[in-house]
A and B are shown apart, each in its own frame.
Chain A
Amino acid sequence: MVGVNTLREMYEQMVTARRYEQRLQEEYLEGKQPAFDISAGPIPGELHLAAGHEAAAVGVCAHLDDEDTVTAPHRPHHVAIAKGVDLDRMTAEIFGRETGLCKGKGGHMHLFDPDVNFACSGIIAQGCPPAVGAAMAADKRNEDSVAVAYLGEGAVDQGAFLESLNLAAVRELPVVFVVEDNDWAISMPQDRITDVDTIAERADGFDMPGVRVDHDDAIAVYEAARDAVGRARNGNGPTLLDVQVHRRMGHFMGDAEGYRPDEDSERAQRLDAIERLADDLRDRGVDDAELQELRELAEDRVEDAIEWAKAQPEPDPADAHEDVFVDDPAAASGGDD
């Protein structure tokens, strides 16, 4: 049975992530209206929002410490928030500012926060092998930290994922693979591209447990992840956790979702794991005033981060030539004439 304080924290993180993305969306669209231009406005480039995925982030990360590694894909904000990534510096990175997590070089798909062992990559499934590597390092050093690799259900047909499952299994490494199944690989419904009923079945071929959480429920994710993370931490090898989530937005901002049936979009709006957790909290005696207070705290935190980020300086163009190597910045300048 999960304690009410844990649930309260999970709720706060979920509403923080949801609010954060609402505000990012507003900032992103600034300068992109009425004619949408992906390169305009204070946040240019692609923006992949994770509204509807929050339960998968908080239910797993509730079991992790800073020493545990998490890799996330191109849709990373909710996982980063649940892992404890510095919100101010993450926001500054998304705004492309000098004091961002990556000095403005990475952007929203490429966030690195070594303080809490978080990283993400824009190429799907490619975070799986580095998560296996983090687990390998812990294993070799006899440390009890674990690694978690997040990916979407569209990524489960990639070699990097399947090869990582096998390597983690054969070496009994402390990894949890978390598939966020939102039913859509951009415009491709799952049954068009993957011929299994659930992604959890993939685990069978690698001799590891595959666990399906078939409804978007933070408590169910928490309980499944407790077993999976515990198994990894106790030296019993990897687990594949397959979590049903819902994509409340397009694949990226600007995706008009012309391919998606209305009823599917409406269903994603209706089935909200945040509302479900709020109901659970009420059942445990947390009243509406307290929930409201948690939401307001989250809003303040988000607003502070955005305000701080927007006040940060843009990077000096000359900085573009640094950071290719840590030891010899001059070697990176390439064309020196």
Chain B
Amino acid sequence: MSKPASDPGTGGVDRELTMSRAMVDAIASEMRADDEVFYMGEDVQDYGGIFDSTEGLLEEFDRDRVMDVPISETAYVGAAVGAAQAGMRPIAEIMFADFVGVCLDQVYNQMAKNTYMSGSAVNVPMVLTTAVGGEYNDAAQHSQTLYGLFSHLPGMQVVVPSTAYDAKGLMHAAVRSDDPVVYMFHKRLMGIGWMPAPEGPKTPVPEDDYTVPIGEADVKREGGDVTVATLGLHVHRALDAADQLADDGVDVEVIDLRSLVPFDTETVLDSVEKTGRLVVVDEDYQSFGVTGEVVARVAERSPDALEAVERVAIPDVPIPYSRPLETEVNPQVEDIVAAVESVE
């Protein structure tokens, strides 16, 4: 088994955090450093965020800076756009990514377009945080990732941390960005008491501030036979699959895409030029989404390198409730293993 390729520079750091603690660590640090940073969303005060995204902030900051808001996403996400254009640095949370439907105009016609429509006369330095993903049987309206939806609509940067280290670094980068950043955290990775996370996302996290640049993928595991490009929860599933495949002598390289917009084509391309085989794994719908985009970029830039390709994603159905049905549609470790074997 090969050593993880990326060293997040945490040598000597004893402190291990869950993803939610690392995310809050960065938010608190940015709020401390800049009075213009504030957080608003539903149940972010006393509850601390349904998925622990603001847990503990109220101990340090007042209720004007950690704001509960009415269940009125159009109003408060739009208010974040306005506050950002006024020069503040708001962070607004949509509790589940699925709920973006009720405020989509403010997201894709206002937040995402105002910079361009104004010819950069205005800009929108806000962060839109939202919880994504399934695998706990919450059914069709509470389990989507919608990675492709946000990434398809131009004008927003989109990041998806899969480890505590990246959760902190990407949050620092997102708040400091002068453009709108959609920060999508996977519920299953946060380390919430009532929703156990796998081991992988809990990592050493330095006390000091640092950024993970938006637009850089991360090679999580080096390998020479097959490239698996994925994100979010499925980074950890791909690493599990790679471990299994290593026992059979198949050497898998696992890339955590981390940012969808902007997209790090080079890292994927470098890997595929080495392996010749590409499997893209996504917890979003298959058609017109992330998997197709990754394959297209490689095919455009380096068609000769691509000997075999496979996509593993949610087939084009809403997420079903019942356990055997959800397991059928959400890519499992064995599905990734099978896909790698099919291209190998």
Convert A100-119 into 0s and 1s, putting 1 for each residue whose CB lies closer than 8 angstroms to a CB of B: 10101111011000000000
The answer, among A39, A186, A319, for a CB contact under 8 Å with B43, is A186
On chain B, the residues within 8 Å of A335 by CB distance are: 286-287, 311, 313, 315-316
A317, B325: Cβ atoms under 8 Å? yes
On chain A, the residues within 8 Å of B320 by CB distance are: 104-105, 320
Convert B66-89 into 0s and 1s, putting 1 for each residue whose CB lies closer than 8 angstroms to a CB of A: 001111101100000000000000
Question: Min CB distance, B269 to chain A, in Å?
Answer: 23
The docked-state distance in angstroms from the alpha carbon of A327 to that of B313 is 24
Q: Is A96 an interface residue (CB 8 A)?
A: yes
On chain B, the residues within 8 Å of A171 by CB distance are: none
Of the candidates A100, A107, A323, the one having the most CB atoms from chain B within 10 angstroms of its own CB is A107
Which of A152-160, A172-180, A201-209 lies at the binding interface? Answer: A152-160
B321, A45: Cβ atoms under 8 Å? yes
Convert A178-190 into 0s and 1s, putting 1 for each residue whose CB lies closer than 8 angstroms to a CB of B: 0000000111100
Of the candidates B70, B196, B313, the one having the most CB atoms from chain A within 10 angstroms of its own CB is B70
Given contacts A317-B324, A324-B317, contact A124 B139 (CB under 8 A): no
Look across to chain A and name the residue whose beta carbon is closest to the beta carbon of B50: A186
Given contacts A37-B196, A193-B69, A334-B317, contact A319 B325 (CB under 8 A): yes
Question: Min CB distance, B278 to chain A, in Å?
Answer: 14
Question: Min CB distance, B162 to chain A, in Å?
Answer: 19
B321, A104: Cβ atoms under 8 Å? yes
In B85-104, which residues have CB < 8 Å from any A CB?
98-99, 101-102
- Dominant secondary structure at the A interface: loop
Q: Is A254 an interface residue (CB 8 A)?
A: yes
B324, A314: Cβ atoms under 8 Å? yes
B322, A105: Cβ atoms under 8 Å? yes
On chain B, the residues within 8 Å of A105 by CB distance are: 139-140, 318, 320-322, 325
On chain A, the residues within 8 Å of B328 by CB distance are: 317-318, 320-321
The answer, among B47, B138, B141, B313, for a CB contact under 8 Å with A121, is B141
Q: Is B275 an interface residue (CB 8 A)?
A: no
On chain A, the residues within 8 Å of B286 by CB distance are: 334-335
Question: Min CB distance, B338 to chain A, in Å?
Answer: 12
Question: Min CB distance, B34 to chain A, in Å?
Answer: 26
B102, A123: Cβ atoms under 8 Å? yes
Q: Is A133 an interface residue (CB 8 A)?
A: no
On chain B, the residues within 8 Å of A160 by CB distance are: 102
A36, B70: Cβ atoms under 8 Å? no
Look across to chain B and name the residue whose beta carbon is closest to the beta carbon of A334: B316
Look across to chain B and name the residue whose beta carbon is closest to the beta carbon of A93: B321
On chain A, the residues within 8 Å of B225 by CB distance are: none
Q: Is A164 an interface residue (CB 8 A)?
A: no
The answer, among A36, A104, A158, A185, for a CB contact under 8 Å with B322, is A104
On chain B, the residues within 8 Å of A317 by CB distance are: 324-325, 327-328
A158, B321: Cβ atoms under 8 Å? no
On chain A, the residues within 8 Å of B311 by CB distance are: 335, 337
A187, B101: Cβ atoms under 8 Å? no
B325, A315: Cβ atoms under 8 Å? yes
The docked-state distance in angstroms from the alpha carbon of A230 to that of B136 is 43
Given contacts A97-B322, A104-B320, A334-B285, contact A37 B42 (CB under 8 A): no
Q: Is A22 an interface residue (CB 8 A)?
A: no
A194, B70: Cβ atoms under 8 Å? yes
On chain A, the residues within 8 Å of B287 by CB distance are: 334-335
On chain A, the residues within 8 Å of B321 by CB distance are: 45, 93, 96, 102, 104-107, 110
Given contacts A123-B99, A159-B74, contact A314 B322 (CB under 8 A): yes
Q: Is A167 an interface residue (CB 8 A)?
A: no
Q: Is A46 an interface residue (CB 8 A)?
A: yes
A193, B70: Cβ atoms under 8 Å? yes
The answer, among A39, A100, A157, A337, for a CB contact under 8 Å with B136, is A39
Of the candidates B70, B317, B318, B320, the one having the most CB atoms from chain A within 10 angstroms of its own CB is B320
Question: Min CB distance, B189 to chain A, in Å?
Answer: 14
The docked-state distance in angstroms from the alpha carbon of A332 to that of B329 is 12
B71, A96: Cβ atoms under 8 Å? no
Q: Is B123 an interface residue (CB 8 A)?
A: no
Given A106-B140, A125-B71, A321-B328, 19 more pairs with CB closer than 8 A: A37-B196, A39-B137, A44-B136, A45-B136, A96-B137, A96-B325, A105-B321, A107-B321, A121-B141, A159-B72, A159-B102, A186-B50, A187-B68, A188-B42, A317-B324, A332-B317, A333-B315, A334-B317, A337-B310
Q: Which 10 A-B pairs have the closest CB atoms?
A: A107-B321, A334-B316, A96-B322, A104-B322, A259-B46, A44-B137, A45-B137, A39-B136, A317-B328, A187-B47
A: residues with CB less than 8 A from B are 35-39, 44-46, 93, 96-97, 100, 102, 104-107, 109-110, 121-126, 154-155, 157-160, 185-188, 192-194, 254, 258-259, 314-321, 323-324, 332-335, 337
B: residues with CB less than 8 A from A are 42-43, 45-47, 50, 68-72, 74-75, 98-99, 101-102, 135-142, 193-196, 285-287, 310-311, 313, 315-318, 320-329
**Pairs across A and B, CB under 8 Å, 23 listed:** A44-B137, A45-B136, A96-B137, A96-B322, A96-B323, A102-B321, A104-B322, A104-B325, A105-B320, A106-B321, A107-B322, A110-B139, A122-B141, A122-B142, A123-B141, A157-B71, A186-B47, A187-B47, A188-B68, A258-B46, A334-B316, A335-B286, A337-B311
